[in-house]
Structure 1
Amino acid sequence: MTSSVPWQERLSAGTEAVQDEVIRWYQETPEGQAYVSTMIWGTFQTEAYATVILGQVVDFLGVPDDVPAGVAKRMQRQQVLYDGEHHYDVVLGEQALYTNIGGPEVMREQIDRILRDIDLPLSSLTLGIIPATAPVDMLPVHAFDLHGDEVHVELVSSGLNVTEPSELDLYRKAFSRPSDAALYGEGAKELLQKARSFWSGARRG
């Protein structure tokens, strides 16, 4: 089964309530997978990065502006990375390290955050980064989060929740393909350091 709720309806009271939903979703599912090719996964985002992202959402959709409250909730959701009771297998595209969200200072801080979290115990986090030129045995797909028996997909106009078992199997397969192309450990750190050097030399735009 696939259900869809338009963002303007879901965010009609602002961003905070949706973040509460996501917190519950994360807390209730101990194992999760996420694939994000062009931006930083929400649970890695710094306060500054998340402020820019949620501000863009509010501006684009014309929903109530409660960005500070929404950002605070997004920061709260990140505690699942450190509680020792959850594990996340995350794959980012290298482009996510270069998509300019908020300018060089925000991006440097964001990459420093990921460099810190990449050393979390493997029982809590497995992080891979797909090099921009790596061959991937999979057609390009949209970002998605897979938790237990549900997949969440964010489209421009709405959020989709997918629960049909056959579709879930395809998402699991879709996650395994870019995972195989990703670099982990020291290889991922080298990509992060390269991006950090880029943003350290970049001028404020």
Structure 2
Amino acid sequence: MSSAIPWQQRLSTGTEAVQDEVIRWYQETPEGQAYVPGMIWGTLQTEAYATVILTQVVDFLGVPNDVPAGVAKRMQRQQVLHDGRHHYAVVLGEQALYTNIGGPDVMRGQIERLLRDFALPSLTLGILPATARMDLFPVHGFHIQGRGDRVHIELVSSSLDIEEPAEVELHRKAFAVLSGAAAYGEEAEQILRKALTFWGGEVSAVRR
């Protein structure tokens, strides 16, 4: 079974209520997998980066502007990275490190945040190099929730939840291919540091 809800319906009262919903999802599902090809995964976003993203959402969709409240909730959701009860496997496309969200200052702060959080026990972070070869055609981003019983996809006009087992299994198969082609450990860290240098950051200033 699949269900799609238009963003303008979900965000009819602003961004805060949806962020509350996401917090509940995370609290109820101690494990998750996410593939995010072109931007930073929401649970790793800095306050400045999240502010730009949610402002763009509000402006594009014409929904009530409660960006500060929505950002505060997004920051609250990140507590799952530090409570010792959750684990997330995340693959970011290398493009996510170069998609210009808010300008160089915002991007430097964001990549420094990734470098600080890189070794968190709750996080397995892979970076999919732009030149990586894969046995899979290019696919959209998606989030496999819990132990793999639901897939969440964010489209331009709506959010889509997939629960049909055969479709969920295809997304799990896709994530296995993507994570298999991703860089981890020191190789991923070097990709992050290269991006930090691109945005004018001082690599030596970053400490984990």
Whether the TM-score (by the shorter chain) exceeds 0.5 is: yes
1:128 corresponds in structure 2 to 126
2:3 corresponds in structure 1 to 3
Matched, 1:146 2:120: no
The alignment partner of 1:14 has SS state of: coil
2:85 corresponds in structure 1 to 85
1:52 corresponds in structure 2 to 52
Gaps of at least 5 residues in structure 2 are 202-208
Cα deviation code 1:125-176 (max 9, x no counterpart): 1010011111121111111111121111000000001111111100100101
1:194 corresponds in structure 2 to 194
Gaps of at least 5 residues in structure 1 are none
One-letter amino acid of the counterpart of residue 56, structure 2: Q
2:95 corresponds in structure 1 to 95
The alignment partner of 1:200 has SS state of: coil
Query: How far apart are the structure 1 equivalents of 2:178 and 2:135?
Result: 7
1:118 corresponds in structure 2 to 118
1:65 Cα deviation after fit: 0.2
2:13 corresponds in structure 1 to 13
One-letter amino acid of the counterpart of residue 55, structure 1: T
Query: How far apart are the structure 1 equivalents of 2:142 and 2:54?
Result: 18
The alignment partner of 2:112 has SS state of: helix
Matched, 1:107 2:107: yes
Query: What is the aligned-residue RMSD (CA, Å)?
Result: 0.7
1:172 corresponds in structure 2 to 172
One-letter amino acid of the counterpart of residue 160, structure 1: L
Query: How far apart are the structure 2 equivalents of 1:136 and 1:91?
Result: 14
One-letter amino acid of the counterpart of residue 35, structure 2: Y
Query: How far apart are the structure 1 equivalents of 2:177 and 2:60?
Result: 32
One-letter amino acid of the counterpart of residue 62, structure 1: G
* TM-score, normalization by structure 1: 0.96
Query: How far apart are the structure 1 equivalents of 2:130 and 2:4?
Result: 32
- Aligned identity (percent) is 74
Kindly report structure 1 stretches of 4+ aligned residues shifted beyond 6 Å.
Answer: none
1:114 Cα deviation after fit: 0.3
Query: How far apart are the structure 1 equivalents of 2:195 and 2:158?
Result: 31
Query: How far apart are the structure 1 equivalents of 2:199 and 2:169?
Result: 38
1:72 Cα deviation after fit: 0.2
1:75 corresponds in structure 2 to 75
2:206 corresponds in structure 1 to none
